[in-house]
A and B are shown apart, each in its own frame.
Chain A
Amino acid sequence: MGSVLYYFTFRRTWRGALIWAFIFGASIAATAIGYSGLDPGARATLAATFSTNTGVMVLIGVPYHLEIVSGFTAWRTMGLLAPMATIWGLLTATRYFRGEEESGRGEFFLAGQTTPRRSAMQTLAALAAGLGLFTVITATGIWLGGRGQDSGFDLEGSVIFAITLALLAATFMAIGFFTSQLAATRRQAAAMAGVVFALFFAMRAIGSVVTDARWLLDITPFGWAQHVHPLTDNNWPWLLPLVGLTSLLVAAGLWVVGRRDMGASLIADHDTAPAHTTLLHNVWTAALRLNRGALLGWTLAFAFAGLIFGNFAKPAGTILNSSDALQHITGELGAAGTQAAAAFMGIGFFMCGVLVMVMVVGLLNALREDESSGYLDNFLVQPVRRWTLFVGRGGLVVFGLILTALMAGLTCVIASRMQQTGVDWWQIVRAALFAAAPAFFLLGLGMLLLGFRPRLMTGVLYGYIGWSFLMEMIGTLLNFNHLLLNTSILHHMALLPAAEPRWATTGLMLGVAVVMAAAGIARLNYRDIETD
């Protein structure tokens, strides 16, 4: 058997690693070049704006050394690229460790002389090799991108930056590896890892904004990565906790793999179960049953997020009160404490809005995979109208959207009551529902793509989220023209409950979504079903 699995995995990972390395290297270089084009006056203004802008701090992290090219570049790109690196990491890991086993391809290897533990180690080694490649390319990109700028980036800083990103990815690969050992399906493993991701990210976001909660930065991988300050301070000892957590998770995962190998009954017990047939009546209730794990995971994640934002609204609002970020959000000066808390919640719901878009893409991708892997055939050969099936699946996503929004809103109301922020409960719930509007738009777009270009759907949707994100971050900074900014779905979100809802914009967004979804479903009703 040797190292077949190693090459098998590496052959399929290196391309992804390379593409990500190029994207990362290029965007870091582009940021550096863009920033160094600014004159000192502009830089100072920029630094002043960013170091007081709570929204930016929530999304990117605590600013530092914004007046020099290397500092600004490292802060900003680290903040933007860290979530991407980690999501790539956990999706890759859950695919190789749970996806393979599920599809039965794993059995092929187990039939050989290798043990599950050895095959897991080979796969891990291949992923590590992919990350090694990623590190080299990214470091080179950073170093080359920094050349010719003010002071240039030193090689040490470039390498430490690349290693930080690679280690972040590695940490989440390890998380994905571990959840893959616990979960029964790839989706479950990815959902569990996704919840961990959301927790760690929320800790980083809150720690960045709330002074009393700064310590949160010290216990989340995103915080550790932020503390490294590559290119300027190069605090490489902060890489050690990343290495430590990764090793711990890999060791724990390997231990579980060994257990399962010895035929422990823990997991075998779950292989038989009495029949629960309540939801197995028709295609719609069955869709609910088959996706309930994902829905439950997301609902819990949003419930938690709402609780956090409600809880921290008051102390965070106090900081906001003194900054001009609030003015940005509400359009008014000198807001009272209540409104400051509302502004913080607004930022929280904005983030939930982004996150729930990821949920929508996940559920739509599940539908696409149901088609390509033949699960959908089981329904489509039955006496069921095809379009009702897709309306049902779309309806399930709508249900998930409303459920998660209400959940985030409700827990936020509860926490807000306990903290006595003074924000009206219905304003909070309304804010939560409005925050889901862009996700509805994305759902419509997804249905349209599923009808006309199913193979492109997932890529286009993620690309669109990324594009919107980029427009929000770069567009406002570089004074892009309004037309370009308008293409960003996030640009049309008002930060409720602090701001007034944009009824017309939101209504238009939902209307376009319904039209797109209808067109997509009409096409799905008669187009060829494509299986692999």
Chain B
Amino acid sequence: MDIAIKTEHLTKCYGGVAALDSLTLEVKKGEVLGYLGPNGAGKTTTIRLLLGLIKPTSGRAEIFGLDAAKDKVAAHRRIAYVPGEAHFWPSLTGEETLHLLGNIHGKVDQKYRSELIKRFRFDPNKKVRTYSKGNHQKIALIAAFSARADLLILDEPTSGLDPIMGQAFRECVHEAKANGQTVFLSSHVLSEVEALCDRVAILRSGTLIELGTLAEMRHLSAVTIEATFDSKPPVVKNIKGVSGLRIAGNTLTAQVHGSIAPLLEVLTPARPKSLLSREPSLEELFLSLYGEEQGVRSE
């Protein structure tokens, strides 16, 4: 069998509203899947369903052929999980927490664990209550990666980590992949997923809207341009690749797919005071791709 995760019409409703709507998805063994979606899209709901923490309203999920809701113990033996906001017991030290988590899971690569503690520059001798959010996150990451589990389920694991630690995290994912482990990585940042994943699934308001390899997702890559002028910005409406245009006072914001040269040709003569380019947030991207319907408001 070469399927790690399989869901069929997996649905979870809260008070009649679908937090996850009929998700059908397969993740192959050894694959790194990016699970992308803005806040509230249903990523955490999906993960809690996969972990059997909540039960589906309809549909089902399988982990290595085991029913996620019924064969929890067997499934969990092969999973390591990192929550988006890890909470550990304030009265234990970091070392004690890692020891406990390792004992319960039953499988720890001690050598790799020591290496991870160094790599994440984690001081395990302090009480958990003194740790910042980032340090809580490090405990969860070290415990998960050192378990060398067949499947890693990571729910926005880098929130609270500084960029250097983000780098260490990427290294770990690469090592896990080289080791044949499967990774299910949820995120709301496109660039993080781009750097790590074989395939990307995109979720919006509980519905899977895109699924494919990074090459197939090319149309998603865009930059956000933010330009401020002394007076009213120039008209840029019908320029190739420009979408999601917004004008607030003397500031213009737009997403550009493909080359930014045509836009710059219009902007530069108007002598912008400042010109910024950055990665668009998923909300902005969706806005430019699908317009405003059932989505994120612009103001």
Binding site for B on A (CB under 8 A): 102, 104, 184-185, 270-277, 280-283, 286, 289-290, 293, 373-375, 377-386, 526-529
Summarize A's interface: helix, strand, loop or mixed. loop
- Interface-lining segment among B76-84, B112-120, B162-170, B184-192: B76-84
Least Cβ–Cβ distance between A396 and chain B, in angstroms: 15
Q: Pick from A276, A280, A386 the residue with the most CB of B within 10 Å.
A: A280
Kindly report which residue of chain A lies nearest to residue B102, judged by CB atoms.
Answer: A280
Asked if B91 is an interface residue, CB under 8 A from chain A, the answer is yes
> Contacts A184-B129, A374-B87, A529-B54; is A282 near B103 (CB within 8 Å)?
yes
Whether A282 contacts B53 in the complex (CB less than 8 A), given A271-B127, A272-B93, comes out as no
Which of the residues A280, A379, A381, A385 comes within 8 Å of B96, measured between beta carbons? A280
Q: Is B217 an interface residue (CB 8 A)?
A: no
Chain B residues positioned under 8 Å from A377 (CB to CB):
53, 83, 87
| CB–CB B53/A280 < 8 A | no
Residues of A near B72 (CB, < 8 A) are 385-386
Closest A-chain residue to B127, C-beta based?
A271
- Choose among A270, A275, A281, A529 the residue with the greatest number of B CB atoms under 10 Å from its CB: A275
Q: A271-B127, A282-B103 are in contact. List 12 more A-B contacts (CB 8 A).
A: A184-B91, A271-B129, A275-B93, A275-B95, A280-B99, A280-B100, A286-B104, A290-B91, A375-B87, A380-B51, A383-B74, A529-B53
Assess whether B104 is in contact with A184, with CB atoms less than 8 Å apart.
no
Q: List 17 A-B contacts (CB under 8 A).
A: A184-B129, A185-B91, A185-B129, A270-B127, A272-B93, A272-B126, A275-B93, A280-B100, A282-B104, A286-B100, A290-B89, A290-B91, A375-B87, A375-B89, A378-B101, A379-B104, A529-B54
Query: Interface on B for A, CB 8 Å cutoff?
Result: 48, 51, 53-55, 69, 72-74, 76-77, 79, 81, 83, 85-93, 95-96, 99-101, 103-106, 124-127, 129-130, 133
Closest Cβ of chain A to B49, distance in Å, is: 10
B99 touches A277 (CB 8 A): yes
Q: Within 8 Å CB of B104, what residues of A?
A: 282-283, 286, 379, 382-384
In contact, B129 and A381 (Cβ under 8 angstroms): no
Q: Chain B residues near A286 (CB, 8 Å)?
A: 100, 104
Say how far B215's CB is from chain A's closest CB, in angstroms.
34
In the complex, what residue of chain B is closest to A291 when comparing beta carbons?
A: B91
Q: A271-B130, A526-B55, A528-B53 are in contact. Are A381 and B91 (CB under 8 A)?
A: no
Nearest neighbor of A382 in chain B, beta-carbon distance: B104
Q: Which residue of B lies closest to A527 (CB)?
A: B55
Closest chain A CB from B227 CB (angstroms): 33
A362 to chain B minimum Cβ distance, whole angstroms, is 16
Given contacts A273-B125, A281-B103, A293-B91, A381 and B79 within 8 Å (CB-CB): yes
Task: Flag if A104 contacts B103 (CB, 8 Å).
Answer: no
B79, B92, B106, B130, most chain A CB atoms within 10 A: B92
For A282, list chain B residues within 8 Å (CB): 103-104
CB distance from B230 to the nearest CB of A (A): 36
Does B96 lie within 8 Å of A276, measured CB to CB?
A: yes
- List residues of chain B with CB within 8 A of the CB of A375: 87-89
Chain B nearest CB from A165 CB (Å) reads: 34
Please state if A271 and B126 are interface contacts (CB–CB under 8 Å).
yes
Q: How far is the CB of B8 from chain A (nearest CB, A)?
A: 20
Inter-subunit contact B91/A374 (CB<8 Å): no
Q: How far is the CB of A251 from chain B (nearest CB, A)?
A: 26
Q: How far is the CA of A383 from the CA of B133 in the complex (A)?
A: 26
A181 shortest CB reach to chain B, Å: 15
Query: Who on chain A is nearest to B83 by CB?
Result: A377
Tell me, in angstroms, the Cα distance from A28 to B46 when the chains sit together.
53
Tell me the smallest distance from the CB of A17 to a CB of chain B, in Å: 29
A462 to B125, CA, bound (A): 39
Given the known inter-chain contacts A102-B90, A382-B104, please indicate yes or no for A184 contacting B73, CB distance below 8 A. Answer: no
| Interface contact B99-A383, CB-CB below 8 Å | no
Tell me, in angstroms, the Cα distance from A375 to B99 when the chains sit together: 16
Closest chain-B Cβ to A260's Cβ sits at a distance in Å of 13
Whether B99 and A275, one on each chain, are in contact in the complex, defined by CB atoms closer than 8 angstroms, is yes
Residue in chain A with minimal CB distance to B84: A374
